[in-house]
């Protein structure tokens, strides 16, 4: 089945230790998104890629970076995680910029 | 700026009862999309429905139905004969067109608990 896959499902890191979250998709969608969802809050868009074109939301901290080496994969890098970065990180894809976004299962990040 | 309000943060119903989840939105765009997503405890956001701003026709899919009223800026979601498997957080969302993508704004979510 075509789908959006996120690895790992749970990630524990230490304060200040860089961490990378992974997203892959078999849908062949052009657009990939990263959202941050803190406990009992709505998902918040961090950035997205349209093909290789990277777009940052204005209020996304510099601590968050992303890479998209090819159509199928997208990575979220957190350079120096703080306690406030503990959250669920959701990856989503859409066929093009105007279509419905489909979400992966998320990676729950814990910062110690 | 666009905004989505889900006034009900938590609802509990007994199995087989009907339940309506409210959603009110604000936008200055004339063209926009409205969505409902379901988030079970596993965390994945499951797409349920998308509605564009020009289509006010109500929709029914099995036990689910949606009522879109542009005059009141509402997009309410009703589950008929609720089941335990319906227990989840439900998000209403609004998207506005940006260059090359749709920026989606989510409501805070309504946590639905269906009691057996």
A101 chain-B contacts, CB cut-off 8 A: 47, 102, 104
Confidence of residue B84 (pLDDT cuts 50, 70, 90): very high
Average pLDDT, whole number, for chain B?
92
The yes-or-no verdict on residue A97 having pLDDT over 80 is no
pLDDT tens for A28-49 read 999 999 999 999 899 999 999 9
Ordered DSSP codes for A30-81: SEEEEEEE-TTS--EEEEEEETTEEEE-TT--TTEEEE-SSSSEEEEEESS-
Which one of A40, A53, A102 has the shortest CB-CB distance to B47? A102
pLDDT tens for A12-21 read 999 999 999 9
pLDDT of residue A100: 86
The yes-or-no verdict on residue A51 having pLDDT over 70 is yes
pLDDT of residue A74: 96
A31/B45 touch (CB, cutoff 8 Å), yes or no: no
B104/A45 touch (CB, cutoff 8 Å), yes or no: yes
Interface residues of chain B, partner chain A, Cβ below 8 Å:
35, 37, 42-47, 50, 91, 97-98, 100-109
Interface test with B, best of A42, A102, A107 (most B CBs within 10 A): A42
């Amino acid at each position: 089945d075509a789908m959006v896959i996120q690895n790992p499902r749970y990630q524990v890191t230490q304060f200040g230790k860089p961490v990378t979250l992974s997203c892959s998709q078999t849908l062949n969608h052009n657009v990939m998104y990263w959202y941050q969802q803190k406990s009992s809050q709505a998902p918040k868009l961090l950035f997205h890629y349209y093909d290789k074109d990277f777009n940052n939301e204005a209020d996304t901290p510099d601590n968050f970076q992303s890479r998209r080496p090819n159509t199928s994969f997208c990575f979220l890098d957190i350079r120096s995680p703080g306690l406030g970065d503990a959250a669920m990180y959701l990856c989503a894809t859409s066929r093009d910029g105007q279509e419905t976004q489909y979400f992966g299962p998320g990676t729950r990040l814990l910062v110690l | 700026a666009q905004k989505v309000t889900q006034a009900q943060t938590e609802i509990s119903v007994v199995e087989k009862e009907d339940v309506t989840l409210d959603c009110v939105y604000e936008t200055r765009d004339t063209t926009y999309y409205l969505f409902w997503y379901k988030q079970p405890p596993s965390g994945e956001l499951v797409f349920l429905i998308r509605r564009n701003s020009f289509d006010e026709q109500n929709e029914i899919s099995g036990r689910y139905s949606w009522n879109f009223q542009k005059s009141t800026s509402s997009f309410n979601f009703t589950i008929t004969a609720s089941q335990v498997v319906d227990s989840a957080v439900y998000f209403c969302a609004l998207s506005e067109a940006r260059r090359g993508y749709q920026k989606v704004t989510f409501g805070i979510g309504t946590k639905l608990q269906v009691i057996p």
